[in-house]
Amino acid sequence: MDWSDTYEIVDNLCEKFPDKNPEKLLFIDLMNMVTSLEGFEGKEENCNEKILEAIQAIWIEEKD
């Protein structure tokens, strides 16, 4: 899994952090959560605000 695998990332985040509210997360916390996922191989330096916004938006959508 890499930064471009947003839907797979969100699926894993929903599974690993079911009680987290994605609307309340700081981007640094979201980045740390993503990099902690099993099978995630992306590098922090390849992450940016646009990627984190996309992950957050999909996660919010999934929670609703």
pLDDT tens-digit series, residues 22-43 = 999 999 999 999 999 999 999 9
Supply angle C-alpha 25, 19, 29, rounded to 5. 25
Q: What are the extents of the domains in the chain? A: 6-63
Check: pTM over 0.85? Answer yes or no. yes
Q: Which long-range contacts (CB under 8 A, 24 or more apart) does 41-45 make?
A: 41/1, 41/2, 42/1, 42/2, 42/3
Q: pLDDT tens digit string along 48-64? A: 999 999 999 999 999 87
Q: Is the pLDDT of residue 45 over 90?
A: yes
What CATH number has the domain spanning 6-63?
1.10.10.600
| pLDDT score for 64 | 78
| Mean pLDDT estimate for the chain | 96
